[in-house]
Amino acid sequence: MSSTDLHYEVFVSDMEPVTVAAPPRPDDGPSLWSSMSHTLIYGKTEALLTDPPVTRGQADRLIKWVESHDVALRYIYVTHAHFDHFATTNYLLRRFPDVTVVASDAVLTGIARQTPGGVLAGVYRDIFGDALPEPPLTVQGSVFPAGGLLLDGHELVAHEVGHSDTDDTSVLHVPSLDLVIAGDVVYNNFHQYLGEGRDGGLDAWHQALDKVAALQPRFVVAGHKDTQRGNPASDIDETRRYLDAGAVVLEQSTNPAEFFNAMKQRYPERVNPWAIWLSALQLFGN
Which three-class secondary structure string do you get for 176-187? HHCEEECHHHCE
* pLDDT at site 190: 98
How far is residue 270's CA from residue 242's CA, in Å, rounded to a whole number? 10
Q: How far apart are CA 199 and CA 224, in angstroms?
A: 24
Residue 187: give its domain's CATH number: 3.60.15.10
Q: How far apart are alpha carbons 18 and 21 in whole angstroms?
A: 9
Asked if 31 and 15 count as a contact pair (C-beta separation under 8 A), the reply is no
Taking the CA atoms of residue 152, residue 176, residue 222 and residue 219 in that order, the dihedral angle to the nearest 10 degrees is -150
Domain that holds residue 220: 2-283
- Count how many domains the chain has: 1
What pLDDT is stored for residue 125 in this prediction?
Answer: 77
233-282 residue pLDDT tens:
999 999 999 999 999 999 999 999 999 999 999 999 999 999 999 999 99
How much of the chain, in percent, has pLDDT values that exceed 70? Answer: 98
pLDDT at residue 18 in the model = 86
Give residue 43's pLDDT band: very low, low, confident or very high (50, 70, 90).
very high
127 pLDDT above the threshold of 90: no
Higher local confidence (pLDDT), 217 or 1: 217
Quickly state the pLDDT bin for 285 (edges 50, 70, 90). Answer: confident
At 123, the pLDDT band (50, 70, 90 cuts) reads confident
Instruction: Read off the pTM.
Output: 0.96
Give the count of alpha carbons within 13 A of 80, CB side only: 24
Whether the predicted pLDDT of 122 surpasses 80: no
Note the pLDDT tens digit of each residue in 173-212: 999 999 999 999 999 999 999 999 999 999 999 999 999 9
Look at residue 21 in the predicted model and tell me its pLDDT: 62
Evaluate if residue 1 carries a pLDDT over 60: no
DSSP conformation class of 211: H
pLDDT at 85 over 70: yes
Q: Is the pLDDT of residue 47 over 90?
A: yes
Read off the pLDDT of each residue in 69-91 and give the average, rounded to a whole number.
97
